[in-house]
Amino acid sequence: MAAEGGGKEMNEIKTQFTTREGVYKLLTHSEYSRPNRVPFNSQGSNPVKVSFVNVNDQSGNGDRICFNVGRELYFYIYKGVRKAADLSKPIDKRIYKGTQPTCHDFNPLTATAESVSLLVGFSAGQVQLIDPIKKETSKLFNEERLIDKSRVTCVRWVPGSESLFLVAHSTGSLYLYNVEHTCGTTPPHYQLLKQGDGYAVHTCKSKSARNPLLRWTVGEGALNEFAFSPDGKFLACASQDGFLRVFGFDAAELHGTMKSYFGGLLCVCWSPDGRYIVAGGEDDLVTVWSFSDCRVIARGHGHKSWVSVVAFDHCTTSVEDSDPPAEFSGSDEEFHEQIHFGGGRDRANSSQSRLSKRNSTDGRPVSVTYRFGSVGQDTQLCLWDLTEDILFPHLPLSRTRTHTNVMSATSPPAAGTATTTNSTSTTTATSTTTSTNTTTSSAVNTNPFGTNGNNTVSSSSGSSGTPANSLPAPLPRSNSLPHSSGPAGGSTTPNSHTGGGGKGGSIIDSAFIATGVSKFATLSLHDARKERHEKDHKRNHSMGHISSKSSDRLNQLSSAARTAKADAAKTLGTLLCPRMEEIPLLEPLVCKKIAHERLTVLIFLEDCLVTACQEGFICTWARPGKVGLLSSQNAANSPSGTVV
């Protein structure tokens, strides 16, 4: 089902969009902004950011929202889909002189109806701890800017802690603070604690306890965003040098790395179960990285400019049994989650989860779908579905590299219909595989452009014991180029591109691959387009993140850009940064222009999703079936029967 409004003029701003689970609607009454609703002149200012906290008050309306616009910081009761926003009564409003707020974070552990702890980072490097309910400013960290003089790019409370927080700066440094400690009157002296590839960790040498407790230097250039894993044990860092680095937080051990296709990485987030990380940045792509395999498993191309925020939709993640070959199984809640999360790739994969169950030859026990979203400087919101065909590449689909076969070949798949989706064509073939436990076969590919598409590397999503080798349903266009159906009958395509990269285990049998005649015609066009796209970006991206106007900084940036180009050439085509044709290319199920200015916020809540643009307007989009809570309108129930 194509998303709504596809035929209208491209520049029109959308106020609703349709996915398989129903219609998401913009609630104009629930828009938050500065009290006068005047668009903010955003040139030269820091991105608008939004933070939420629930204070668990008795009224049932415990959500609070904080957002920064220019030099101003606002704190409101957030009424979401329930009631219209009342902008005339902010609980707290602050206007700063000489510096601007850049980011903020609430501590959910200490929040009550009488008090909340809000950290605010600033463009000159300071971090403030305030209580917007009591209207107190309790502490200012790095006040004299002795620790770091550069802009604060990201601030987060350490999960599970009431006193520890982590601050990232545009120098590429991360500092661990304790709210109980002072920052001292002299610059800190550091002692090396641990060093590794692209990072170093120092402790602060001091006779008495003082901040910072630790300093991490990560990569080259700014550290644009970091995110803790759901269990709080790991830290993912997205840097301007284009690297995603994932650390064990307590041990300060590097777990794995990934490199952007080109340019800096600007944003990062974890899946709700901690198995996958999505990053976005200056290559206009969203990149999905497997935590357990430490490798890229898919990229998504839908944005026309830099991707500024990525976020998983925790309410629509679905991992559920698929014993009945038809329809959904499980409780109403699971059904609700499945249609939310599985209701994803409208153009790409709208019914993948159900179809994969139907085509399951031996009642495979798991059906997995993750929904995530992204917003960018192109003013577009994209929603994506990460489905089992990407997460668990099936035998006929896996030919790019030999990797750990997570399916463990527990039982031989019977003869069935398999579809391989190239980024250029879709080919259908009937193939029969024989019963084997560990098949070692070198797949060879006659395609001169290298391996491709959804014939992807196998992914062990962290539940390595989960068998998932049911033969997949047709993968409707998870890649961005048009369908064309090739002849049935699998031709065995030897592949010069097999490279090791798994962590042991059985090798994927890729002998039976269907190839389409039409792929050769469209691949060259696809590659040429990519090259042109890359050239355009390389022209722009090297000066992308200038925070200081000094000539030293400019020289530093241009030399960094030169070395970055050399490094990119080394990493392209490796596990750090696979070529575009080596892994699946996702297509967004929704891609809508929803603002006039670049988008800077995307947050998924239970009843709605929240976006914000640089003009300072924070928009609430009601989930399907939730819009009726705001007024007496009938709830817009989705055709698939969303449980409200």
Proportion of the chain above pLDDT 90, given as a percent: 51
| Residue 620, both tokens | 């609430």
How many domains does the chain contain in total?
2
Task: Report how far residue 610's alpha carbon sits from residue 598's, in angstroms, rounded to the nearest whole number.
Answer: 15
Residue 473 has pLDDT above 80, yes or no: no
Q: What is the pLDDT of residue 628?
A: 62
Whether residue 214 sits in one domain with residue 187:
yes
Residue 485 has pLDDT above 70, yes or no: no
Residue 496: pLDDT band by 50, 70, 90 thresholds? very low
| Residue 14, both tokens | 């959308």
Q: What is the pLDDT of residue 426?
A: 37
At which residue do the structure tokens 């944003």 appear?
A: 267
Q: Are 497 and 419 in contact (CB under 8 A)?
A: no
CA atoms within 13 A on the CB side of 312: 25
Whether residue 163 sits in one domain with residue 243:
no
| Residue 267, both tokens | 């944003």
Kindly give, in sequence order, each residue whose CB lies less than 8 Å from that of residue 627, ignoring residues fewer than 6 positions away: 25, 27, 81, 633, 635, 636
Residue 352 has pLDDT above 60, yes or no: no
On whether residue 483 sits in a domain, the answer given is: no
Whether residue 287 sits in one domain with residue 240:
yes
| Burial zone of 245 (CB within 10 Å; 0-12 exposed, 13-18 middle, 19+ buried) | buried
Q: C-alpha distances in angstroms, 427 versus 143, 238, 513, 519?
A: 62, 37, 9, 9
Q: Are 561 and 356 in contact (CB under 8 A)?
A: no
Task: Report how far residue 63's alpha carbon sits from residue 204's, in angstroms, rounded to the nearest whole number.
Answer: 38
Sequence-separated contacts (24+) of 430-436 with Cβ below 8 Å:
430/488, 430/489, 430/490, 431/396, 431/490, 431/512, 431/514, 432/512, 433/395, 433/396, 433/509, 433/512, 435/411, 436/409, 436/412, 436/509
* Residue 566 CB coordination number (10 Å): 8
- What's the mean pLDDT in 451-474? 38
- The CATH number of the domain holding residue 236 is 2.130.10.10
Whether residue 276 sits in one domain with residue 237:
yes
Task: Report how far residue 197's alpha carbon sits from residue 50's, in angstroms, rounded to the nearest whole number.
Answer: 33
Whether residue 376 sits in one domain with residue 273:
yes
Q: What is the pLDDT of residue 411?
A: 37
The closest alpha carbon to 297, from 235, 388, 232, 374, belongs to 388
On whether residue 96 sits in a domain, the answer given is: yes
Residue 392 has pLDDT above 60, yes or no: yes
Q: What is the DSSP string of 170-209?
A: TTSEEEEEETTSB--SS--EEEEEEEETTEEEEEEE-SS-
Domain-ending residue, one of 218, 252, 274: 218
Q: What is the pLDDT of residue 397?
A: 43
Whether residue 263 sits in one domain with residue 136:
no
Beta strands in 2-62 (DSSP E): 16-19, 22-26, 50-54
On whether residue 185 sits in a domain, the answer given is: yes
- What's the mean pLDDT in 304-324? 80
| Angle (nearest 5°) at CA 512 between 506 and 516 | 135
Q: Are 614 and 40 in contact (CB under 8 A)?
A: yes
Residue 607 has pLDDT above 60, yes or no: yes
Residue 56: pLDDT band by 50, 70, 90 thresholds? confident
Q: What is the pLDDT of residue 571?
A: 83
Residue 442 has pLDDT above 60, yes or no: no
Q: What is the pLDDT of residue 558?
A: 58
Q: What is the pTM of this model?
A: 0.68
Residue 580 has pLDDT above 80, yes or no: yes
Q: What is the phi/psi pair of residue 329, to 5°?
A: -120, 170
Residue 93: domain span: 49-171+173-218
- What's the mean pLDDT in 170-182? 96
On whether residue 32 sits in a domain, the answer given is: no
Q: What is the phi/psi pair of residue 496, to 5°?
A: -80, 0
3-class state of residue 482 by DSSP: coil
Q: Are 229 and 236 in contact (CB under 8 A)?
A: yes
Beta strands 164-169; 223-228: pairing state:
unpaired
For the stretch 233-266, pLDDT in tens is 999 999 999 999 999 999 999 999 999 999 999 9
For the stretch 78-121, pLDDT in tens is 998 988 888 998 999 999 998 999 999 999 999 999 999 999 99
On whether residue 560 sits in a domain, the answer given is: no
- What's the mean pLDDT in 65-77? 95
Give me the amino acid identity at 8: K
On whether residue 443 sits in a domain, the answer given is: no
Whether residue 238 sits in one domain with residue 161:
no
* Residue 633 CB coordination number (10 Å): 10
Q: Are 302 and 382 in contact (CB under 8 A)?
A: yes
Whether residue 180 sits in one domain with residue 131:
yes
Whether residue 189 sits in one domain with residue 252:
no
Q: C-alpha distances in angstroms, 588 versus 205, 526, 560?
A: 50, 18, 33
CA 109 to chain centre: 25
On whether residue 632 sits in a domain, the answer given is: no
Whether residue 272 sits in one domain with residue 382:
yes
97-106, 274-283, 352-361, 374-383: the lowest-pLDDT one: 352-361
Give just the sign of the alpha carbon dihedral 282, 286, 292, 294.
negative
On whether residue 277 sits in a domain, the answer given is: yes
Whether residue 66 sits in one domain with residue 96:
yes
For the stretch 507-545, pLDDT in tens is 223 222 233 323 333 333 344 444 444 444 444 443 334
Residue 275: pLDDT band by 50, 70, 90 thresholds? very high
Whether residue 242 sits in one domain with residue 183:
no
